[in-house]
């Protein structure tokens, strides 16, 4: 590639491993801190007791230098700290992290990240089937007519009931709304129902030979805010078309104009903590 054809970020050692769209909205390297990522909690009014049960015991994100009992401190893929999501040690438990922002124009949005996933290295065995799933979603409310809140979900179903699945999935629908006070409703959208398989062969991700070894993966997800659809995604060397990927669509809600939230989550398939690590996250747009 000639120098004159290289994109502006090509010579930046931190950005050159990404392929952003024309405008970078944020670039979070967790060596610099937690950068606004927080726990996804349920809606409540007046009392925490009226939060939906599924949201009450989710774990917030934390910074980790990836210290293991046998290998010592590895640090992140590029630096010292990664953002770590850790579930409870209870089968089906979920940990989440969300970044809340708004959009300034309806156009293309692209998320890129480098991630790794593992169960807690609490046993002297591989345990590669102890992580059930991890995923990423957008939560958008636009001003189109009719106005909708819509949520593109993408998850990697690693295992279910101790059996390997290795399948990317999208979510078609969520649960019915529950009234939370007079002005607020809530719904749990990370449950097992409503998922459909991305219509391609399964993709087995690198896991390595023991539970404490970490391998970093690349993920890119592109959506169109104007047409309310996936345009496709890529994990490592495999690219997936977005034509058959559906999104959750629900009625618009008060006070959420121009919302553009991004969230990650991880779920355990065993009575053992499951971890999702994010080295860095970049969100870009084309407008």
Dump pLDDT digits (tens) for 156-193: 999 999 999 999 999 999 888 888 877 788 888 999 99
> Does position 234 have pLDDT exceeding 90, yes or no?
yes
pLDDT tens for residues 12-53? Answer: 888 999 999 999 999 999 999 999 999 988 888 888 888 888
CATH architecture of 21-271+280-286: Sandwich (2.60)
> Does position 2 have pLDDT exceeding 70, yes or no?
no
pLDDT at site 109: 97
Residue with tokens 């995923």: 135
User: Alpha-carbon distance 35 to 43, whole Å?
Assistant: 23
Instruction: Compute the mean pLDDT over every residue in the chain, rounded to the nearest whole number.
Output: 92
DSSP 47: B
pLDDT at site 226: 94
> Does position 215 have pLDDT exceeding 90, yes or no?
yes
For 30, 220, 228, 270, the CA distances from 139, given in Å and listed in that order, are: 22, 17, 11, 28
- Across the range 78-95, mean pLDDT stands at 97
Higher pLDDT, 10 or 173: 173
pLDDT at site 237: 96
Domain ranges for the chain: 21-271+280-286
Pairing of strands 67-68, 178-180: unpaired
DSSP 177: P
């Amino acid at each position: 590639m000639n120098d004159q054809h290289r994109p502006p970020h090509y010579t930046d050692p931190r950005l050159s491993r990404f392929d952003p769209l024309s405008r970078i909205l944020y670039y979070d390297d967790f060596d610099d801190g937690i950068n606004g990522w927080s726990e996804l909690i349920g809606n409540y009014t007046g009392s925490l007791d009226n939060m939906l049960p599924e949201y009450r015991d989710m774990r917030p994100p934390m910074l980790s230098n990836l210290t293991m009992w046998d290998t010592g401190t590895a640090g992140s893929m590029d630096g010292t700290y990664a953002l770590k999501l850790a579930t409870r040690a209870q089968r089906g438990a979920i940990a989440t992290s969300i970044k809340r922002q708004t959009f300034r124009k309806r156009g293309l949005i692209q998320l890129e990240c480098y991630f790794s996933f593992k169960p807690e290295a609490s046993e002297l065995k591989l345990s590669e089937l102890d992580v059930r799933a991890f995923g990423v979603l957008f939560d958008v409310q636009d001003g189109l007519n009719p106005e909708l809140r819509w949520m593109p979900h993408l998850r990697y179903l690693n295992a279910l009931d101790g059996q390997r699945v290795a399948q990317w999935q999208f979510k078609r629908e969520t649960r019915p709304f529950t009234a939370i006070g007079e002005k607020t409703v809530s719904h749990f959208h990370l449950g097992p129902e409503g998922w459909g398989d991305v219509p391609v062969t399964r993709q087995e991700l690198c896991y390595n030979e023991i539970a404490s070894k970490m391998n970093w993966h690349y993920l890119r997800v592109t959506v169109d805010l104007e047409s309310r659809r996936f345009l496709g995604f890529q994990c490592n060397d495999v690219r997936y078309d977005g034509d058959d990927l559906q999104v959750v669509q629900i009625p618009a809600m008060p006070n959420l104009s121009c919302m553009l939230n991004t969230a990650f989550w991880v779920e355990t398939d065993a009575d053992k903590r499951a971890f999702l690590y994010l080295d860095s996250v970049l969100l870009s747009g084309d407008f």
